[in-house]
Amino acid sequence: MIKQILFIITLLITFGVFAYSVKRLWGFFKLTKPAYPIKNIGARISHTLNVAFGQTKIFRKPVIGLMHALVFWGFLVITLGSIEMVVDGVSGLDRAFAFTGWFYDVVIASGDVFALLILIFIKLFSIRRMFLKVKRFSGVEMTPKANWDAQLSLFFIGFLMVSLICFNMGYISSHPNAYEGVYPVSAALVNLFGWDFSWLQEPGWWVHLLLIFTFANYLPYSKHFHVFLSVPNVFLANLEPITKYPNLESITREVKLMLDPEAAYDENAEVARFGVKDIEDVSWKNYMDSLSCTQCGRCTDVCPANITGKLLSPRKIFVDLRKRMNEKGPLVIAGKEDNKSLLRDYISEEEIWACTTCNACAQECPIDISHPNLIMDMRRYLVMEESAAPTGLNVMFANIENNGAPWQFSPEDRMKWAE
């Protein structure tokens, strides 16, 4: 009974802290602009099954991809077990889901095996991050803090697996002849040592659950928030061709007005800033992308600008967006301002202009972030609000305006190629 009460109090604290974090983020989301409408639910579900659950984009790097996929699938199975542990804790039951019979055995057995696999892979990930100089784990945005965040997340996951196996071993020892579920790894370990592990059951259970609760509340402040957000982010992804850059509706209104002066001027139309300068100009999807990004750096790894030594790193764009929101969001909510902005104080013009919009980054992103579209949004701000384009581009604009081609040729000569 005391255990139950203690557990329920812990659970309530967990939910309370989590609710606080969600409320904070919700406040930030409210500062953002609308994105595209979410339609085509059927196509979205199949896209999510494919990209998120099937891990198809993760597999673009086959070896590390397989390891990640196994960790992800293992997490799904182990989560079912965790839900049962929470139900047990609240209700005082022991193995509340055991009535599901063979299904239970399959879930518990695979969870037990996955726990060991995940532990091994997480250790390898951690060692790789520490000792192998993987190029995409470096860069200005990969601060020591970002590296600690990654290592701490890996430590959490590793320790979660250790505590789960300890709990399973304790459970087997304390129910020597009649335990529920199948435990290929834990049972083998118990037999291997031949000791009595029953003392491990209670501490294993508590440590495992307290780790889950702590980790869950750490995540909203970590780059590892992708544990929660990557699947919804893929579901809400832009399903249009990646090189389709949406037209600005506010411009469409102006252009129509210019072409047809008779058209009625819509006074209710919102006069917003063109393009993106700061966090209140981005869409909720941009911000969600920044929260979902786990800084894997696959985008930066394939960026032609980055490969050839330019400042641009597509990952940094989203890391900066999240940082800037953390800085400015609370100010705006409190009715205050600062004299900084995402563009220039975080992301330089030099970075923005280096993009070739080749979309290699968007193609690679395992959770479907479109970096070029946000980069071009910032170009829109620079060009349409500040006329701050590089010289070459201003010449190109003038040519298109004057003679309908980016180069200085007369439209009269448009058929010369055939002569």
Partner 1 sequence: MTIETKIDVPVMADVTAKGEKPEYLYWVGCAGAFDDRYQKVARAFAKILNHLGVSYAVLGKEESCTGDAAKRAGNEMLFQMQAMQNIGVLNGYEVKKIICTCPHCYNTLKNEYSDLGGNYEVINYTVFLDEMIRAGKLKLENNPFKGESITYHDPCYLGRGNGIYDAPRNVVKAVFGEVKEMKRARSYGLCCGAGGAQMFKEAEKGNKEVNIERTEEIIERKVDKVASACPFCMTMLTDGIKLKNKEAELQNIDIAEIIEKALNL
Long-range contacts of 381-388 (CB under 8 A, 24+ apart): 381/273, 381/274, 381/275, 381/276, 381/277, 381/281, 381/343, 382/275, 382/343, 382/349, 382/352, 383/275, 384/274, 384/275, 385/273, 385/274, 385/275, 385/277, 388/349
Please tell me the distance from the alpha carbon of residue 419 to that of residue 403, in angstroms, as a whole number: 20
Question: Rg (Cα) of the chain, in Å, rounded?
Answer: 26
In angstroms, give the least distance from the CB of 394 to partner 1.
9
In angstroms, give the least distance from the CB of 76 to partner 1.
27
Of 91 and 410, which CB lies nearer to partner 1 in the complex structure?
410
In angstroms, give the least distance from the CB of 398 to partner 1.
10
In angstroms, give the least distance from the CB of 313 to partner 1.
12
Of 43 and 400, which CB lies nearer to partner 1 in the complex structure?
400
Of 120 and 389, which CB lies nearer to partner 1 in the complex structure?
389
Joined together, the tokens standing for residue 66 give: 């397989």
Of 30 and 60, which CB lies nearer to partner 1 in the complex structure?
60
In angstroms, give the least distance from the CB of 35 to partner 1.
15
For residue 110, the tally of other CB atoms under 10 A from its CB is 20
* Measured CA distances, 32 to 28, 169, 284, 329, 330 (Å): 7, 49, 5, 10, 13
Of 77 and 360, which CB lies nearer to partner 1 in the complex structure?
360
343: which strand partners?
Answer: 347
Of 117 and 248, which CB lies nearer to partner 1 in the complex structure?
248
Please tell me the distance from the alpha carbon of residue 261 to that of residue 330, in angstroms, as a whole number: 43
In angstroms, give the least distance from the CB of 291 to partner 1.
25
